[in-house]
Amino acid sequence: MPRDRADGPPGDPTRPVTIAYIAESAGVSIPTVSKVINGRSGVAADTRARVEALVRQYGYRKPAPTQRSRMLELVFDELGDMWGVEIIRGVERVAREHRLGVVLTEFGPQRNAVRYWIDDTLTRRPACIVTVAQLAEDQHDQLRARGIPFVVFDPTVELPDDVPFVGATNWTGGRTATRHLVELGHRRIAMIAGPDQVLCCRARLDGYRSALEAAGLPVESDLVVRADLTREGGHAAALGLLDRPQRPTAIFASNDLQALGVYQAARVLGLSVPRDLSVVGFDDLPVAALVDPPLTTVRQPLTEMAATATELALALGRGERTPRVGLELATTLSVRGSTAPPAT
């Protein structure tokens, strides 16, 4: 048996048993005990039986939920890109309607703050959490154990089936962007893809490939270049694509920042957009309509996605049943001045 601690063993009513004590007694982690108590999957049968036996033996009862604060929390890994402003706008819109405050958390480039954040958040007990940052499974479990609802915004990795999220139709957006260029008459269409480990980037690339195959065009591996989702990444990738004897006549970039880098590369090489090169981005940030020429781009409804994620998190906090755990909002193509038929 484990040694005496402040959270056990039972027998002294002034020292009620805790999840931590049951975990130590069973020789498992606290998240594992949380899964068993909350009826979640992902626990081996013998482990589940051992934990359930200890729960019955010690007479453990889930603590009554305490009142959550009148604050909701928005969590970023790093708040450095323009799209973050659109997300904040959507969250704050819903917060105002429900008369809630907003706590903004940023982990930083190295995620140095994440280990302290979970403890601070459990103490704050926000009404709900919208997380752009990707949390670990044990952090999901700790939030659930404290009754703090959360929704993942635009997940970059595959999530367990029971984790609520709001995203966009990235595959459809990639297909729509590429089909637009095909219909203009382009046949050498390059794509600047994002990092392969990012889920939305893979979906946009798959949409690009699908549109080419549907048009009977070859998917040429040398026309696909991976780059960071930054202006600098788009600039370097575009220089490599355009400084070729048989350069592409159109480039589909994985986001608007990459597309701005393509504009810069075209100017360096003396090419005109869209006379010599058509460019399509993805996101439809406010800057897309301000550049010269205005950027044709796939509109990802970031503000609406953030508002939807916040409403979903609040609904979960009220104990409402939602029709679906995951929601995807539709993308649309905003056609502007950066695309035209290829020069003859």
Q: Region 6-12: what's the mean pLDDT?
A: 49
d(CA 339, CA 44): 55
Tell me whether residue 335 is in a domain.
no
Residue 300 pLDDT exceeds 80: yes
Query: Does 290 lie in the same domain as 218?
Result: yes
> Given the DSSP bridges, would you call strands 326-329 and 165-168 parallel, antiparallel or unpaired?
parallel
Query: Does 212 lie in the same domain as 311?
Result: no
Residue 82, number of CB atoms within 10 A of its CB: 14
pLDDT value at residue 69: 76
pLDDT-wise least confident of 32-36, 53-57, 61-65, 201-205 = 61-65
d(CA 290, CA 113): 36
Tell me whether residue 210 is in a domain.
yes
pLDDT value at residue 318: 84
Per-residue DSSP letter, 114: H
Tell me whether residue 336 is in a domain.
no
Domain span at residue 319 reads 71-168+303-329
Q: Integer distance in angstroms from the first to the last C-alpha of the chain?
A: 82
Alpha carbon 40 to chain centroid, angstroms: 23
pLDDT value at residue 136: 84
pLDDT value at residue 63: 58
pLDDT value at residue 66: 53
Query: Does 164 lie in the same domain as 307?
Result: yes
Residue 1 pLDDT exceeds 60: no
Higher pLDDT, 90 or 25: 90
% the chain with pLDDT above 70:
89
pLDDT-wise least confident of 93-97, 160-164, 300-304, 317-321 = 317-321
CA Rg value for the chain: 25
Per-residue DSSP letter, 270: T
Residue 2 pLDDT exceeds 60: no
Residue ranges of alpha helices (H) inside 100-183 are: 114-124, 137-145, 170-183
Q: What is the pLDDT of residues 119-171, one digit of tens each?
A: 888 888 899 999 998 888 888 888 888 889 999 999 988 888 889 999 999 99
Query: Does 289 lie in the same domain as 181?
Result: yes
**CATH, residue 178:** 3.40.50.2300
d(CA 83, CA 108): 16
**CATH, residue 18:** 1.10.260.40
Query: Does 185 lie in the same domain as 118?
Result: no
Q: What is the pLDDT of residues 186-237, one digit of tens each?
A: 999 999 999 999 999 999 999 999 999 999 999 999 999 999 999 999 999 9
Q: Write the DSSP string, 295-306.
A: PEEEE--HHHHH
Token duo for residue 201: 């980037």
Tell me whether residue 334 is in a domain.
no
Alpha carbon dihedral 171, 175, 177, 180, in 10-degree steps, equals: -160
pLDDT value at residue 15: 55
Total number of domains in the chain? 3
pLDDT value at residue 5: 43
Whole-model pTM: value is: 0.77
Mean of all residue pLDDT scores within the chain = 88
Q: Region 279-291: what's the mean pLDDT?
A: 95
